Amino acid sequence: MPKKFYITTPIYYTNNPPHVGSAYTTIAVDVLARYYRQKGKKVFFLTGTDEHGEKNAQAAKKANKSPQEFVDEIAKSFKETWRALDISNDDFIRTTEPRHIKGAQKFLSALKKSGKIYQGKYEGLYCIGCEKFITKKELADGKCPDHQKAPKKVSETNYFFKLSDFLDRVKKLISHDKIKIEPLERKNEVLALLKQGLEDFSISRQKVKWGIPLPFDKKQISYVWVEALVNYITAIGYGSNQKKFNQLWPADLHLIGKDILKFHALYWPALLLAVGLKPPRKIFVHGFLTADGQKMSKTLGNVIDPIYLADKYGVDALRYFLLREIPFGQDGDFSIKRLEERYNADLANGLGNLVSRVLTLSEKAGNFPVIASERKRAKQSRRKNELIKGVKSTQKKYKKALEKIKFHEALEVIWRLISACDEFIEKNKPWTLISEQRTANSEQKLKEILLSLLLSLKEIAVLLRPFMPATSEKILSQIKLNKKTEVLFPRL
Ligand code: MSP
């Protein structure tokens, strides 16, 4: 039985259509999903939309639409964008779907039953942009630093979760990597938060209408974050399909941005423990795409439409650029200038040029068939050949980088192989062998050179597949034109 691999993106707010920041997280998860599928794992890749709460309701009001009508439109634009960006998600959960509402209510009832819920009065500040209660300490000039807006004062009676009862257990799980938080500095950040101490948090809102009513007090609705986190289990059958749920839970990887670390690393495991469920295995935290140093967000008005970029530069170029330019985990500025530079240097001059060089050479050489009887000889020469030796070490380094979720390193390794191919061509000058009157010897040498290049190109295409699926298929189909040569390709 292949091993399951359950991987998720956060679910996106439906106050606005997707932007290149949301595409960043989704593309990253897509690359991992495709990589693990290629490795033979039974991948389940979930994404979706977070549709309840004040933030979404306010956006609907502004657009003069009912909340449902509004979120239907935005959810549709998310689905369409992911299709356009070649995202291979297995499911898409919307928090307004009956399966989610049913599962969330089951979860809330289980939480109540656990005895860890109590009624209390909340008085403080709330940032609608973050959908979270915020302390004065977290503000900069009286404003939320992520949304540049002053929070509103809230005073209401609602239900609280006894987070404090679970913090010791959560701390142990994180310290011992039972919940693995990566990169390391994020794990340390969470441990520091634990050291500071955390207050119990409210799981319901009294004055908000757009949400899921608490099953034990219909006058209150579930706090949007509790409900949102629960999507990771309702989508796989919690409350509706126990068998599927048992097969897939716990999640193998939640990939998230750094702004939502506390919710995923502390609140979520504590909530799960309270109802007797296992916590997720791993949380990987990435940085922000910024524009002039500021987080790209619709609220700040500095976003770029990913469809516009994909139409102008190509889907694969966008996917490549986002993961090549910024070391995954760190913040990085998104700039069209850099995208164009990388497009020209890496894709057109690097990859594109190599593919057309090798195909042209092979065509000029007459696309000669490499017949089966030559297999042995070709194999022997392959073993000696520097370029082919390089392929093996490329594979190893690539695998190591991807399994550590270092996309930029994995891509760097592929591009080193591309340069090695270029150097190999320069060194061996196959064109001199093509133009000469060919002897048996030169013919053999030519075959070996071209075969090594075609083999390397095939490997490059295979390694690129999770990042640039369409480009990879195109290269592979171009190589396949030479069917007889293809039989010699080893299973890389
Ligand atoms: N709805 C919550 C998540 C609930 S998950 C149970 C939410 N939504 S969001 O739409 O604001 O953000 C979703 C994800 O997109 C987050 O991981 C966030 O970090 C990421 N990004 C949003 N803008 C981004 C950038 N400018 N750069 C990188 N990631 C960005 O939070």
At residue 149, φ and ψ (nearest 5 deg) are: -135, 145
Q: How far is CA 194 from the centre of its chain?
A: 27
- Report percent pLDDT > 70 for the chain: 93
Please choose from 7, 11, 12, 258 the residue to mutate so as to test ligand 1's pocket, defined by most ligand atoms within 8 A of CB.
12
Which residues make beta-bridge pairs with 126? Answer: 133, 152
pLDDT, mean of residues 109-123 = 95
Dist CA 102 CA 132 (whole Å)? 24
Cross-sheet strand order for the sheet of 204-205: 204-205, 217-222, 213-214
Listed range (170-179, 233-242, 359-368, 405-414) with the worst mean pLDDT? 359-368
Q: Is 44 helix (H, G, I), strand (E, B) or coil?
A: strand
| CA 229 to ligand 1: nearest atom | 6
Per-residue pLDDT for 227 more than 90? yes
Dist CA 227 CA 132 (whole Å)? 13
Nearest CA to ligand 1 atom 15: 22
pLDDT, averaged across the chain: 91
Specify the pLDDT at position 492.
30
pLDDT in tens, 330-357: 999 999 999 999 999 999 999 999 999 9
Please choose from 100, 227, 254, 260 the residue to mutate so as to test ligand 1's pocket, defined by most ligand atoms within 8 A of CB.
260
pLDDT in tens, 165-206: 999 999 999 999 999 999 999 999 999 999 998 989 999 998
* Cβ of 452 less than 6 Å from ligand 1: no
Specify the pLDDT at position 375.
52
* Cβ of 268 less than 6 Å from ligand 1: no
* Strand residues in 22-114 grouped as ranges (E): 42-50, 91-94
Domains and CATH numbers, the chain: 336-478 (1.10.730.10)
Which residues make beta-bridge pairs with 255? Answer: 284
Q: Is 147 helix (H, G, I), strand (E, B) or coil?
A: coil
pLDDT, mean of residues 435-444 = 78
Specify the pLDDT at position 123.
85
- Report percent pLDDT > 90 for the chain: 71
HSE (side-chain half, CA atoms, 13 Å) at 13: 21
Per-residue pLDDT for 71 more than 60? yes
Could you tell me the distance, in angstroms and rounded to a whole number, from the CA of residue 207 to the centre of ligand 1? 25
Listed range (271-280, 375-384, 457-466) with the worst mean pLDDT? 375-384
Specify the pLDDT at position 382.
55
How far is the CA of 33 from the CAs of 7, 44, 135, 253, 402, in angstroms? 7, 8, 37, 10, 11
- Closest to 117 in 3D by CA, of 52, 174, 166: 166
pLDDT in tens, 279-298: 999 999 999 999 877 788 77
pLDDT, mean of residues 243-253 = 98
* Cβ of 163 less than 6 Å from ligand 1: no
pLDDT in tens, 8-60: 999 999 999 999 999 999 999 999 999 999 999 999 999 999 999 999 999 99
**Which tokens sit at 156?**
């209401």
**Which tokens sit at 111?**
């939480």
**Which tokens sit at 10?**
């956060």
Per-residue pLDDT for 376 more than 80? no
CB contact at 8 A, 433 and 442? yes
Specify the pLDDT at position 117.
97
Specify the pLDDT at position 405.
98
H helix intervals, 314-385? 315-325, 336-342, 353-364, 375-384
pLDDT in tens, 122-160: 888 888 888 888 888 888 888 988 888 888 888 889 999
Dist CA 422 CA 453 (whole Å)? 9
| CA 232 to ligand 1: nearest atom | 6
Beta strands at 204-205 and 217-222: parallel, antiparallel or unpaired: antiparallel
Give the angle 147-161-115 at the CA atoms, nearest 5°.
165
For the whole model, what pTM was predicted?
0.93
Nearest CA to ligand 1 atom 7: 12
**pLDDT band, very low/low/confident/very high, at 429 (cuts 50, 70, 90):** very high
Alpha-carbon torsion angle 83, 86, 91, 95, nearest 10: -50
Does 421 appear as a known binding residue? no
Nearest CA to ligand 1 atom 6: 229
* Cβ of 256 less than 6 Å from ligand 1: yes
Amino acid at 151: P
- The DSSP secondary-structure symbol of 144 reads B
Could you tell me the distance, in angstroms and rounded to a whole number, from the CA of residue 257 to the centre of ligand 1? 6
Does 130 appear as a known binding residue? yes
Q: Choose from 38-42, 364-368, 383-387 the range with maximum mean pLDDT.
A: 38-42
Per-residue pLDDT for 491 more than 50? no
How many CB atoms neighbour CB 222 within 10 A?
Answer: 28
Give the angle 85-90-92 at the CA atoms, nearest 5°.
80
**pLDDT band, very low/low/confident/very high, at 238 (cuts 50, 70, 90):** very high
* Cβ of 86 less than 6 Å from ligand 1: no
Place of tokens 């195109």: 474
- Closest to 169 in 3D by CA, of 269, 276, 277: 269
CB contact at 8 A, 116 and 200? no
